[in-house]
Structure 1
Amino acid sequence: MAPTTPFLKHDVFLSFRGTDTRYSFTSHLYNALQRKQIDAYIDNKLDGGEKIEPALLERIEDSYISVVIFSEKYADSTFCLRELSKIHQCMETKGQMVLPVFHQLDPSQVQNLTGRYGEALSRHERDCASEEVESWRHALKEIANLKGWDSSVIKDETRLIEEIVSNIHKKLHHALSPSIDAQGLVGMQSRVKHIESLLSFGSTGVLIVGIWGMGGIGKSTTAEAVYNRNSHKFEGDCFFRNVREESKKHGVDHVRQEILGEGTGKVESISLKISPTTKINASPAAFEGMYNLRLLKFYHPYQYPYYRGEEMVRIHLPQGLHILSNELRILDCQLEQIWNENQPLENLKIMNPCSSSKLILSDFDFSNLPNLEVLNLEQLIWNSTLPPSIGFLSQLVKLNLFFCISLTCLPDSIGELKSLVELNLNACYKLASLPDSIGELKSLVELNLASCNKLVSLPSSIGKLKCLVKLKLGGCSELASLPESIGELKFLVELHLFSSSKLASLPDSIGKLKCLVELQLGCCSELASLPESIGELKYLEKQILVVAQN
């Protein structure tokens, strides 16, 4: 929302203590304002020093609204206090709107100048002119007592920022929309009010009001006046002129696309049910302006865990992930290609580009997904291993590599996934070994290695998985033995070894698995006997313990 008058250059001026909030709350608020097309000014100098440059004072004067983010160390900075004093002056002399935000700070500290704020002002009295310090005290008290926001009341930062941005948007809309009388539209007031009454704002239904009449009598002007007065009441809005002329010139479909395109900034979720064998080429223009897109999902109703590849809905992003919003939380599509260019999707939580035998991710840079929690790479093609950058996913909780038939090994960096709870390597037929670093997965609860036909042994570091509850090794036809360290898995409840046809013995340490309830040994044709220590497993359900006879 750019200012409509040449006298004020900015919608919002942000006042904050850089060391407290520059790379956290303030940055998030600034980006949210930008996405709403609100022109916000932020001082990008890392250290303001002591003296305020005249240009910065002009920025404050040239703003409709100042947002003051009070944080713990705000009053420690004389630069911030001088900035605040200027904001207070503009509030008093120019009627500038000022909105305080108390970020992880008790508002009473600022309102009463107690705690750290009181201490900071006492220090400043020794080094600064008493008149200046007194002006800071006055500005702090005045602005802190204005209506604003307290982060201890709205603890969800995302919701807090949304509320602040929404409030600013409404204030700017009111301030920047001239009244009907000010526009010199004689007799328009009564017509606008009549149409507003017909629209029944607040009702749950969808209403259409037609304005009929001869050309030149002010139909479009009336419609625009109604729009300007009421568009801020809705999440999405668009005013489209000359519909008839545009539809004749470019066609109705063009008009429809233009109208839909106006609302892309409001789109938060796209979930489309598509027929099988469909291939979608997603152009950058399709996502342009979707600043708030949080979920992108394409699917067809007959997608099951096991399907023929030719039945898939395939999504092609010719210019890669960088055309998608950084606000994206869930990406659930059968992608044919992911662009390898570095493009951070910092807020992405769930990524599911799986179920596509054509997708190759061998060089993908996972470091651009720092907050990813669920990664589903089922049935994907690799150059024998995962990219080493997989280790950057410090927040990853679930990693699904089911049926990745080209996977022969895992990178050492897999041990960096400190938050990983579930690792699924089921049916990775060529996986021959696990790295020693697998033992560093301190949060791992379930490890599924079923049907890994080439897996010969497990590293002794497997015993370091102190949180492991389920270990699935069924169908590992080349697995000949288990390491003694298996007995260190104190919380193991399920151990599946069925159809491990070369397994000849179990280690004595298996008797240390005091929590073991389920031990599946069916069709282990080489297993002739069990260690005596197995009798120590008092919680074992013996009816599922089946040993094949030679």
Structure 2
Amino acid sequence: MAVSEISRCTYHVFLSFRGEDTRKSFTDHLYTALVHLGIRTFRDDEEIERGNNIKDEIEKAILHHSKISIVVFSKNYAASTWCLNELVMILEHKKSSKHIVLPVFYDVDPSQVKNQTGSYAEAFTQHEQNFESMVQRWRNALKEVADIGGMVLQDRHESQFIQDIVKEVQNKLHLISLYFPPYLVGIDPLVTQINQWLEQDGANKVGIANICGIGGIGKTTIAKVVYNQNIPRFESFSFLAHVRETSQDCNGLVRLQRQLISDILKGKSYKIYNIDNGINKIKEIVRCRRVLLVLDDVDELEKIRKLMGTQIPFHPGSKIIITSRNRCLLNAHFISIMFDLEASTSCGGLSKLFEVKELASSELLQLFNWYAFGHNSVLESSMAYARSLVKHCGGLPLALQVLGSSLSSKSVSSWKNALEKLEEIPDSKIQEILRISYDSLEDDHDKNLLLDVVCLFIGKDRDYTTTILDGCDYC
């Protein structure tokens, strides 16, 4: 299936399973995990409208409206002629197209499926009496699917098994999620608003949004959450971090162009000799595919113009999200310069502003407590200090995360010392708050580590950061 076909699929995943075995347990949990990440998933109990022909609907879902079939093999899967016919249909579609099949062996061994032993042998004893003409086709299908590299539960926890399946699906769909902090507070309403804008703005419209707010308020985190949830809806996608800082470096704009082009072309490299060469290539490739593009930390529109040029012919349905401290960044003049309105079909109501507000005091305290204590409730002996520390962080999640982490497991005197320093800072400047967190560390090893993380790795992938720090003997 070509890349352009993926966006036309009604679903990314078709779930084939024995309802009596796993509908209300394993398969339900898997379905929920997939949908949570924006992976459109078909399962017959929710997706088929009442009154429609079930067989026809499932056949359409497999043959025309999905890219991957996940086949969940359970003990009684082979007892269902419906499941077996569905499997035959899936494998026939695999042969005639690039449809991907992912076998999942839930509570059976692949050899049991391949050789039809155990409960599968019992099922076929019945089938040979009632469906003699179909038995060999079903046996062949089970043998074929068991030989495909699948995933086996064995002795693993189901929750981890489901996570592994979801990651495999993401890889097969070329959906690489960005890392963001594990504990998030108060962002759901704004994330929902942005998602609604992405969904309702129309498939034939290019859209651009500005997520604005002061430094450290959580703009990048919100953009990452939205990005992760929506990349399955687009043919190509790219998240360019630290545009303001990177564009100031020598060859920084060219590096950003290379990343953007590589992301849109699904990892394919393209040689760029200068900025103009990069602009021409970007215009060429965004013209023919729906793109989700996030430009993180943009301080002025000139940076975007230098990166991508003007009159960019984005394909209809493409969406661009910018994070910025400047709420007035987008304006009608900028839009007319940046976009090729004729090529984009329709750009009416193109610009949208989403402002990140300060968290409520109770939410700020929850966030601080999680990083300081590992949970969102505070010890009674530390309540007064925690409230005062939160108050002086100016409502900035980044400051709370760093300060809470640096004071974790520290003595009351350390908390008192940090509070005294915070009380001396005017306007709760985040740089000074980070400095206090740095000073609270007891040895040079930890101080060097914090400097590396803050200065070099903010916004980077967690595994990438750990790999680099391992090489420096920091972790």
Normalised to the residue count of structure 2, the TM-score between the two structures is 0.43
Which structure's residues are more often helix, by fraction? 2
TM-score, normalisation: structure 1: 0.37
For the pair shown, the structure with the greater C-alpha radius of gyration is 1
